[in-house]
Structure 1
Amino acid sequence: MIYCRPNPNPYARTQRPTMPRLLKLTLFALLLNLGLMLLLRVIFWWWFRDAGDPLSTADLAQSFYLGSKFDLRLVLLLLLPLLVLGTSARFAPFAGPRRARAWAAYLSLAVIAPLLVYLLHMGYYAYLHKPLDATVLRFAANPLISATMVWQSYPVVWGGLGVAIFAVVIYRLHAWAIAYFAEAPAAGGSRRRRLALGTGVAALVLFGLYGQISWYPLRWSNAFFSTHAFAAAVTVNPTLHFFSTLKNRRLNFDTAAARAAYPRMVDFLGIDAPDVAAMNYLRTVTPAGNLAARRPNVVLVFLESFAAFKTGIYGNPLKPTPHFDELARGGLYFENFYVPQPGTARSVFTLVTGIPDPEIVRTASRNPLVVDQHTLLAEFKGYQKHYFLGGSASWGNIRGLLTRNIPGLVIHEEGSYRSPRVDVWGLADHNLFLEAIEALNSLDDGPFLAVIQTSGNHRPYTIPEVNHGFAYDERDTAELNRFGFDSSAEYNSFRYMDHSIGVFMEQARQAPWFDNTVFVFFGDHGLPGRGEHMSAADVQLALNTIHVPLVIYAPALIPARRVERVASELDVLPTVAGLVLPSYRNTTLGRDLLDPRFKDSAFAFTILNSPNPDIGLVGEGFYFRGKADGSSERLHALGSTTPREDVAAVHPAQYARMKQLCRDIYETARYMLYHNGGYRQAAAEGQ
C-alpha cells in the first residue's frame, strides 16, 4: 500500500525554491528506464557478439551513442502522460493513494513492456540473426506452432518467473519514489520561474524526441550507419523499430509469379548459372576491351528535375543548357533514356540498387525491411567512395540505404560544408559542386567514386546572390510557355542548374584527375509539361515525366557518340561498371547498355505507384502500358501523331512480347526488393 504523507510545509527541507516534485519523479523514471535499456543493450551486444567478426571500436561506440538517442525518444514518449496529466490536481500521482497506485502501475508498465519487447528482440535475433521488426507478426498466423517452438527453444517458465519478480520489484520501487517525492514541493519559486522552468522542460523534451541537431529528425535509417549487420542490431530500439516497420509489414511480392517469370528473365538478364529452385539472379560479368587497366575515377551526377524536353540538346529553341549540351556532344549521349518513375527518392533507390521502386504508398528507401541491398557501387573495390548532397542524407531515409550497403562510403551533407545553406534543399548547386571539387582534390592517390546529388532545380527556385557569375535571362512568359517552362523563375532555375554544371566542369578540367575520370550526368526524373518542339508521345503518354538525358563524358577515354537505343536508369551502374571494372557481380535488373548481347532487347520499365500501379515498357518505337492487375492493357506507337491510340491489334506480336516482359520485370522487381540483400553480405565477404 502506498501512503502519500501530507506535508504541511512544502519548503521544510529548504528555504530556496527547488525542482518540483513532479519533475523529480519524472527524472527518476527517466534515468531508471535509460539505465535498464543501456544494460539490455550491453547484454545484447555481449551475448551475440562474434569474436571472429567483431564490431570496430568506432562502430560499437556509434551504436551505443545512437541507441541511447532512440532509447531516450521511447522513454520520453512513455513519460509524456506523466508530464502532462501530472500537472493536474485531479490526476497527479501525489493526489492520494489511488492515484499513487495507478501511476506506480503505469510507470512499472513503461519499464516492463519495453523489457518484454527487448527479450523478444533477443529471441528473434537468435533465431533469424536480424533485428526485431513487424514481420514477427507473421508467426501469429500459426500460433500453436510458434508457441510450441518458443516453449521448446527458450526457458519460458524461468524467464516468465524472472519477469514477474522483476515487475514486483519495479512496482515497489516506483511506489517508494512517489511516496518519497510527495514530500517535495509541488512547484517552486515565482510564477515567472515556473513558466521558465516549464518552457525549458518542454524544449528539452522536444529536442530529445527530435533526436539530433539537423534539418531532419533522428530516423530509423540512422541505425544502419555501418555495413556491419550487427551494428544495426545493437543500435535499434526494438520497440521503436517494430513500430517503424509496422506500416511496411506486408511483404508485397508474389513468389509464384516471380518463379514463373524466372526462365524468361534468365535470357533477358544473361544469367550465367540459372537456378529455378533458388531463383538466383547473380551473374559475374567480365567486360571485353574496357578501361579497367587505367583504374579511372567515376563521378555520377543526379540532375534534379532535368527533363529532356527542357534541354537544348533535345531541341528546345530557348537553348537553356549550353554547358550540358556541350557535354552531350562530346560524350556518349543516350537520347532515349528513361527513369522508371517520377520522384527523387525513388530515383536514388533505383540507381543504387538496380531495382525499380515498386512500393505503393511510401518509397522503398523509407522501408526498413528492404534496407539490405546488393549494389554495384560496392563492386568498386579499392575505390574511395564519396556521396555529396546539399541537404541531409536523412531526407527520404536514403542514409540507411547508402551506409548499410556501400562499404567505406563517406557522406558529405549539411553541416559538413563551409558554404551556407540557401533554402530547404540545402546548398546552392554551384557551391555543392565546388565543395565536391575541393574534397576530391584533397584525396590521396587511388581511384575514387563520387556521387553528387543536386537539388536546386526545384521550388522555391532559389538562386543565391553570390552565384559565380550567373546572368538572368528575362523572357516573355508566353514564349517560355511555348517551350515547356511555366515561369521565369523555373526557366532561370533550370539555366542556373546548367550554369552550375559549367562551373563544376571548368574546375574539374583543371584537376590532375580529369583525364582519367568518367563523368556520368543524368536527370533524376522529368516533369509534366508541353512545348511546340516536343513529340506527341512525350506529351500525351506522360513520358515527359520520365524521359531525361544521360551523358557519359570522358573525352580522353571514350569517343563521342549519339546513342538512339532505349536505355533505363536501371542500366546506369552496369554500364559504368562495364567501362571501368575488370569484372563485377550483378544481381538485379540492370544491364550494360554497351554489351552487344542486349542490342536487340532494349527496353525501359516504367511504373506509376498507386494501389493498382500503372506499369509499362518503353521499346523501340512502342510503349506498352497496363494496370498491375492485368486490366487496361494497350500498346502505343511512339512515332504516331495520335499516340494515345491502342495499336495492339495492329502489332499483336510486339504487344504480346512487351506485355509478357513488362509483367515479368514487375513481378521480379517486387520479389527482388526483398531478396537482393543476401548478395550484399556475399559481396562484403569478398572485399
Structure 2
Amino acid sequence: MSKYLTRRIVLRASAAGLAAGAIRHVLPLWAETPPAASRPNVIFIFIDDMGFADPSCFGNPKLKTPNIDRLAAGGMRFTQFYVNSPICSPSRVALTTGQYPARHLIHSYLAARSANRRRGMADFLSPHVFTIGSAFKKAGYATAHFGKWHMGGGRDVQDAPLPSAYGFDEHLVNFEGMGPRVEGPKHTWTQTYVDRSIDFIRRHKDRPFFLRLFPNDVHDAHQPAPGAEAKWKDVTKNPFEAKFFAVLEEMDRQIGRLVDEVDKLHLAERTLIVFTSDNGPTDWASYYAKGFTPPGFTGPYFGRKWSLYEGGIHMPFIVRWPGRVPAGRTDERTVGAAMDMTPTLCKLVGIDVPDNLDGEDLSEAFLGKPVRRKKPIFWEYGRREGYLRPGNKDFISPPLAMREGDYKLLMNQDAGGAQLFNLADDPSERKDLASSKPEVAAAMRQRLLAWRQTLPDLPGEWEGIDFASIGYDPVKGIISPDGQPATPPKRKTTILDLPALARLAGRKGAKPVRREIDETWVFDGRTDGLCVPRDKAPAVAGRGITVWAEIASETPSGVVLAHGGNRHGYSLFLREGKATFSVCVDWKRTTIQAPAPLEGGKGVIEASLARDGKLTLRIDRKEVAADKAAGPLAANPGDSLQIGSDLVQPVGEYEVPNRFRGTIGKLELRID
C-alpha cells in the first residue's frame, strides 16, 4: 500500500505540473541502425555544488581534472547550460521531471517538516508525477540511482517515497533520501557509489540501462581522506580550498573509474554519458568571517550558490557518445537547461513524453547541430524569508529572472529593481541595460510576470503590492491600459490533502493517529466524519477532479469522499467491497465500479473526472474501469463536502449518510 502522499497545508500548483498531459510521440534518433546494436545506455552524472570552472577543461586555474577532461575530449562541451535553481532540491526536481520545480512546490532545499511548511513547500516530490526514471523503466531499461537524492526523506520526513517510486530499480542514497543509505566516512561515499555503478553496469551490459550517479564530494563540508589535503598546501594558503582540491581530485578519479569500466566492457559506442552540476559553488558567510573566500570557481560569472546571477546557475556541461556525439567540439550557441534533459534524453532513446513538460528537446545539439530554443528560461528563488542567501551580499539576486536570446532580466516580486544584461557582450553581468533599453526590459518583465502567474502562490506573498502600477494582477494576469486582462487568466490546480480538509471542516469528525513513520485517520462509522462547508469547499464547476485515497475499510460499504448531491456532485465510495465512483451532472448520474472487491478491504484508489467528462478508476495505479459522463460539473455543488460520509442528497446510489468505517492513511483531492 502506498505511503507516498505528502501531508500538506492547502497547496496550489499549476495544472502543467500535475496534469497527466497529452503524450508527445517521438522517433528515436537511433532508429536508422539495428535496435539491438544501437539502443543506447544513458549515464547521467550530476555533481553537487560544482562551479562552472571547477573542471580544468572549463578553466580551473589551480587543479587538473584529467578524467573529466578526457570525457570532454571524447565528446562535446556546452558552454551555455543552466540549471533551474541555484540550490539542490529544486535543481534535482527540474532534472527529474522536465518541469520547473516550483510547479511541484519545491523551490528551495527540502528540510524538516516545519521548515518546509514555513516556506510553503511540499515535503517531497509527489510519486504521481511523470519522471524520467519511470519513463525509462517503462521503456524496458534497467534503472539505478546512486548518490545524493534530496527530493524527499531524511530529517523528520520519514514517510517520503523510495527512489523506486520514481522508477529507479536500484538505489543507494545519503542521509537526504529514503531506503538504503551509504555508510562510512564521507570521503569514501563516491567510491561506494561508483562501486555500485560498476556492478550495476556489469550485470546489465547486455540490455539497455539508465544510471544516475549523483556525487556530493564538493558540497561542503569538504572531508578528504586523512592527509589528502597536504599536497595542496603549497598551491593555496586557504585551508578550505586545500580540502576542496583534495575531494575534487578524488571525485575526478572515481569518475575516471566509471568511464574506464564502460570502455573496458566495449559499451562506449552504446552509452551516452552526460556530466554537469546542480548549482554553483558554496558561499557560506562563515568563510568570509574567517578571512577566506569560499572554495570553487565560477570562471567569468558573477555570483555563486543561492544566487540567480550566472555564477549560481550557469554550469559546466559535457556529453560523450562515441560515433554519435562529435568528439572534441564545443557548442557555444545552444542554450540549455536541466529541465531540457528529460525530453532530450527521451527523444534520443525513443520514449514518449507528456506535452506539458517545460523542457525542450535539444537532442540535435547533442549530435553536433546547435539548437535555438523556442521558449525563454525562467527562474525564481528567494520569494520569502527562510531561503538561504549568499554570504557575499553582492551576490544576493532579485528573486525572479529569465533569459531570452542573449538578454537576461532579473527583478523583484513587485517587478521593481529590474536589471537587464546582454550576456553575449557582458557574461559577467556588469553593465545593467535596464535604463538604456527600457523597451526590452518592459517586454521581458511582462513575460516573466506572465510565467510567474503559472506558479503556485504562497500565502501572503502578494500583500502590499500596487498591481495597477506594474500592470499586473495575480488573479487577472497582465493588465492592459483599459484595466482588462491582456491575456486570459490561467487556472491553477488546487490540491487539498486530508489534514488541509480537516482544517477547513473546522471540527474533528475523525481523529488522526500517529503511526511509526506517518499518520492515519480513523473513522469510527458512528459519526459523520469531516464536513467542509459549502463556502469553504473548492470550486469544481468545469474543472477536472481527481480523488486519490489510501484506505483500509472494515466494512464493504461507505463513502470515502463526497461533494454535492444528485444534481451536481461526485463521490468515491465502496459498494459490496468494490471501489465505486459516481458523478452527477444536471441530474444525470454516471457510475463506474471496480470488477472485484478490494483485497482485505485495503487499497490505493484513484478516481478522476476529466474536463471532457471521461471517468477513470484505478486501483493500486492500474486502471480498472472507465466511462464517459455528461461532462464536467456544470455548476458548483449546492451541498457541502464530506469525508467519511455523504450528507443531505446522495451522489451515488446509496442511502445517506453511508458512513465509512476504517482508516484513511492518505487522501488527496486535486482540482485541475
| TM-score using structure 1 length | 0.52
Partner of 1:495: 249
CA contact (8 A) 1:387 1:411 kept: yes
Which residue in 2 is equivalent to 1:372? 128
Give the alignment partner of residue 363 of structure 2, picking from 594, 597, 613.
594
Shift of the 321–656 alpha-carbon distance from structure 1 to 2, 3 Å rule, reads: farther
**Residue 360 of structure 1, CA deviation:** 5.6
Give the deviation of 1:322 after TM superposition.
2.1
2:200 is the alignment partner of 1:442: no
Displacement of 1:303 in angstroms is 1.0
Following the alignment from structure 1 to structure 2, what is the Cα–Cα distance between the partners of residues 327 and 609? 35
Unaligned runs of 5+ in 1: 1-59, 64-222, 225-231, 233-243, 263-277
Shift of 1:657: 4.2
The answer (yes or no) to whether the contact 1:307–1:548 under 8 Å persists in 2 is yes
Tell me by how many angstroms 1:315 deviates.
1.8
Structure 2 counterpart SS, 1:347: helix
| 1:626 alignment partner in structure 2 | 411
Query: 2:46 touches 2:276 (CA, 8 Å); kept in 1?
Result: yes
Structure 1 residue aligned with 2:171: 411
Give runs of aligned pairs for residues 582-661 of structure 1, distance below 5 A: 583-594=352-363, 599-601=372-374, 603-611=376-384, 614-638=399-423, 639-640=425-426, 643-661=429-447
Provide Cα deviations, 1:223-249, integer angstroms capped at 9, x if missing partner.
22xxxxxxx6xxxxxxxxxxx72xx41
- For the residues of structure 2 that align with 1:337 and 1:455, how far apart are their CA atoms? 20
The CA distance in 2 between the partners of 1:647 and 1:620, in whole Å, is 15
Larger Rg: 1
Tell me if the contact between 2:29 and 2:349 (Cα under 8 Å) persists in the aligned partners.
Answer: no
| Inter-CA distance 514–288: structure 2 relative to 1 (3 Å threshold) | closer
Among candidates 491, 510, 515, match of residue 269 of structure 2 = 515
Displacement of 1:459 in angstroms is 2.7
Report the equivalent of 2:222. Answer: 461
Which residue does 1:547 correspond to in 2?
A: 314
Unpaired segments ≥5 residues, structure 2: 111-115, 284-293, 386-397, 457-491, 496-543, 549-607, 611-615, 624-672
Q: 1:501 and 1:402, CA in 2 relative to 1: closer, same or farther beyond 3 A?
A: same
Matching residue of 1:117: none
Deviation track 1:556-597 (CA, whole Å, cap 9, x = no partner) reads 332233222221111112111121215433432111123589
CA shift for structure 1 position 622: 2.4
Question: Greater shift after overlay, 538-547 or 372-381?
Answer: 538-547
- The aligned counterpart of 1:229 is none
Aligned pair partner of 2:153 in 374, 394, 399: 394
CA contact (8 A) 1:566 1:618 kept: no
Aligned partners of 1:422 and 1:428 also within 8 Å? yes
Q: Residues 253 and 579 (structure 1 numbering): CA distance in 2 closer, same or farther, change over 3 Å?
A: closer
Cα drift, residue 444 of structure 1: 7.2
1-side partners of 2:247 and 2:214: how far apart? 16
How far is the alpha carbon of 1:282 from its aligned partner? 3.5
Look up the match of 1:284.
24
Cα deviation for residue 668 of structure 1 reads 2.9
Contact kept in structure 2, 1:635 and 1:646, CA below 8 Å: yes
1:159-214 per-position Cα deviation (integer Å, ceiling 9, x unaligned): xxxxxxxxxxxxxxxxxxxxxxxxxxxxxxxxxxxxxxxxxxxxxxxxxxxxxxxx
Aligned mates of 1:390, 1:541 — CA distance in 2: 23
- CA offsets, 1:295-320, max 9 Å, x none? 21111121121111222122222243
Offset of residue 431 of structure 1: 2.6
Offset of 1:399 from its aligned partner? 8.6
TM-score, normalising length from structure 2? 0.53
Q: Are 1:421 and 1:428, in contact at CA under 8 Å, matched by a contact in 2?
A: yes
> Which residue number corresponds to residue 562 of structure 1?
330
1:653–1:581 CA distance, 2 compared to 1 (3 A): farther
CA distance in 1, matches of 2:376, 2:67: 29
Structure 2 equivalent of residue 335 of structure 1: 79
Query: What corresponds to 1:135 in structure 2?
Result: none
SS at match of 1:308: coil
| SS in structure 2 of the partner of residue 309 of structure 1 | coil
Structure 1 match to 2:345 = 576
Secondary structure of 1:317's counterpart equals coil
Question: Cα RMSD over matched residues?
Answer: 4.4
Alpha carbons of 1:663 and 1:474: their partners in 2 closer, same or farther (altered >3 Å)? Answer: same
Deviation at residue 332 of structure 1 after TM alignment: 2.9
Which secondary structure does the structure 2 equivalent of 1:575 belong to?
helix
Which one is further off, 511-520 or 406-415? Answer: 406-415
Q: Deviations over 1:423-469 (max 9, x none)?
A: 3x585212311221012212374211111221222233223369xxx
CA–CA distance in structure 2, aligned partners of residues 316 and 493 of structure 1 = 15
Q: CA deviation at 1:488?
A: 0.6
Q: Is the 8 A contact 1:341 1:607 kept in 2?
A: yes
Distance verdict in 2 for CA 1:661–1:567, change over 3 Å: farther
Q: Distance in 1 between matches of 2:379 and 2:13?
A: 17
Report the residue type matching 2:412 in the other structure: K
Give the C-alpha shift of residue 644 in structure 1: 4.3
Q: How much does 1:614 deviate? A: 0.4
Give the letter for the 1:547 counterpart.
Answer: H
- In the other structure, the counterpart of 1:102 is none
Deviates more, 1:296-305 or 1:587-596: 587-596
Relative to its length, the structure with more helix (as a share) is 1
8 A contact 2:89–2:109 mirrored in 1: no
* Partner secondary structure for residue 249 of structure 2: helix
Deviation per residue, 1:88-139 (Å, 9 max, x gap) = xxxxxxxxxxxxxxxxxxxxxxxxxxxxxxxxxxxxxxxxxxxxxxxxxxxx
2:300 maps to which residue? Answer: 535
> 2:21–2:356: 8 Å Cα contact kept in structure 1?
yes
Corresponding residue of 1:304: 48
Deviation at 1:343, TM superposition (A): 2.4
Cα offset, 1:419, TM superposition: 11
Q: 1:667 maps to which residue?
A: 453
Work out whether 1:326 is the aligned partner of 2:87: no
Q: Which has the higher strand share?
A: 2
Structure 1 range deviating more: 393-402 or 605-614? 393-402
TM-superposed deviation, 1:374 = 1.4
Q: CA distance change for structure 1 residues 463 and 390 in 2, over 3 Å: closer, same or farther?
A: farther
CA distance in structure 1 between the partners assigned to 2:89 and 2:196 by the alignment: 22
Quick one: which amino acid aligns to residue 542 of structure 1? Y
Q: CA–CA distance in 2 between the matches of 1:353 and 1:673?
A: 20
Deviation per CA, 1:41-89: give whole Å up to 9, x if none.
xxxxxxxxxxxxxxxxxxx5xx6xxxxxxxxxxxxxxxxxxxxxxxxxx
| SS of the residue 2:409 aligns to | strand
For 1:507 and 1:409, locate their aligned partners in 2 and report how far apart those are by CA, in whole Å: 21
If asked which structure has higher relative contact order (CA below 8 Å, sep 6+), I would say 1
Work out whether residues 355 and 673 of structure 1, in 8 Å CA contact, stay in contact via their aligned partners in 2.
no
After superposition, the Cα gap between the structure-2 partners of 1:431 and 1:616, relative to the gap in structure 1 and judged at 3 Å, is: same
Residues 480 and 355 (structure 1), Cα distance of their counterparts in 2 relative to 1, 3 Å cut: farther
Does the 8 Å contact 2:53/2:297 carry over to 1?
A: no
1:249 pairs with 2:9: yes
SS of 2:58's equivalent in the other structure is coil
1:315 counterpart = 2:75: no
- In 2 relative to 1, CA 660–409 (structure 1 residues): closer, same or farther, beyond 3 Å? farther
What is the correspondence of 1:155-166 to structure 2 with a 5 Å cutoff?
A: none
Query: Aligned partners of 2:354 and 2:404: how far apart in 1?
Result: 26
Q: 1:629 to 1:249 in 2, by over 3 A?
A: farther
Which amino acid in 2 is paired with 1:607? E
Q: CA deviation at 1:284?
A: 0.5
Q: CA deviation at 1:647?
A: 0.9
Is contact 1:308-1:549 (8 Å) kept? yes
Count of paired positions: 418
